[in-house]
């Protein structure tokens, strides 16, 4: 299974901005999520105002996640088997077996299809034939799970970019407040904190911690079902995760 190392390379996109001659450029580099469950990284480059009172930063955020967790896929499988009658499903699949097989062969022969995808198509065709040769609730379950479980082996990559302006508070922490906005009155609170240089660190220079949180000021009606985001923290010393992904989705 091919290991996927993507966060640093993708998050290391260069932010090109117009910097006034009097502004000081502060490059924070790539900060990784501290929580190992949050496979994400953010690259930050800032410009500090001439008087040092404000700092405007550009962010490029990259997040990697699985399209579907195994638990969610299992729940969907059970729901599908309950909702779709066995006889109707058998007729829909096996009644069009030749057409499906032709489509699979075309995919397997296409130069635009990767080797992993070709292997999946070949196995799907074999499993479909096995199901149609001996239709039963068990063989239907096996065939359906094989098709659905592909999403548990597929990783999706999402990127976003934005700019924020920070003001330094009395504790010398840079703070940004955006909002409230939208029907739920969302407030986005972000902080950037510079830490002293670690003399034992391989990379010389100050380290930064970026922290972000979303707060809902309205929690009635539809807003009562919206999720508030807990604090997400990023740092140079954050986790550099790996994913064993067979397929990719952009």
Tell me: the pLDDT tens digits for 69-91? 889 999 999 999 999 888 888 88
Tell me the per-residue pLDDT of 127-148, one tens digit each, with 9 for 90 and over. Answer: 888 899 999 999 999 999 999 9
Average pLDDT over residues 45-52: 92
Distance in angstroms (rounded) separating the CA atoms of residues 122 and 104: 7
Q: Is the peptide bond before 143 cis (omega within 30 degrees of 0)?
A: no
Q: Which of 16, 20, 64 is nearest to 40 (CA)?
A: 64
Rounded Cα–Cα distance for residues 40 and 6 (Å): 10
pLDDT at 225: 67
Contacts of 143 (CB under 8 A, 6+ apart): 93, 127, 128, 130, 131
Residues 6+ apart with CB under 8 A from 98: none
Question: Residue 205: how many CB atoms within 10 A of its CB?
Answer: 11
How do beta strands 154-168 and 247-249 pair? parallel
pLDDT at 250 over 90: no
177-198 average pLDDT score = 86
pLDDT, residue 6, reads 36
CA angle 19–62–25, rounded 5-degree value? 20
pTM of the model: 0.70
Mean pLDDT, range 148-169, rounded to an integer: 92
Mean pLDDT on 211-231: 79
């Amino acid at each position: 299974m091919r290991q996927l190392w993507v966060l640093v390379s993708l998050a290391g996109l260069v932010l090109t901005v117009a910097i006034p001659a009097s502004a000081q450029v502060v490059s924070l580099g790539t900060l990784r999520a501290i929580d190992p469950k949050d496979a994400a990284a953010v690259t930050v480059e800032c410009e500090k105002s001439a008087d040092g009172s404000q700092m405007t930063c550009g962010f490029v955020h990259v997040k990697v996640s699985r399209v579907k967790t195994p638990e969610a896929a299992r729940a969907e499988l059970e729901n599908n088997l309950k909702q779709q009658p066995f006889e109707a499903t058998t007729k829909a699949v096996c009644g069009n077996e030749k057409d499906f097989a032709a489509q699979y062969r075309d995919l397997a022969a296409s130069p635009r299809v990767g080797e992993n995808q070709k292997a999946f198509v070949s196995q799907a065709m074999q499993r479909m034939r096995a199901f149609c040769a001996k239709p039963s609730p068990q063989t239907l379950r096996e065939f359906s799970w094989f098709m659905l479980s592909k999403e548990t082996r597929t990783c999706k990559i999402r990127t976003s970019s934005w700019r924020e302006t920070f003001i330094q508070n009395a504790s010398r922490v840079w703070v940004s407040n955006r909002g409230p906005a939208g029907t739920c009155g969302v407030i986005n609170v972000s902080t950037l904190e510079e830490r002293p240089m670690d003399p034992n660190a391989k990379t010389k220079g100050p380290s930064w911690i970026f922290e972000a949180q979303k707060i809902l000021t309205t929690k009635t009606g539809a807003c009562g079902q919206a999720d508030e985001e807990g604090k997400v923290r990023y740092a140079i010393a954050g986790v550099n995760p790996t994913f064993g992904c067979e397929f990719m989705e952009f």
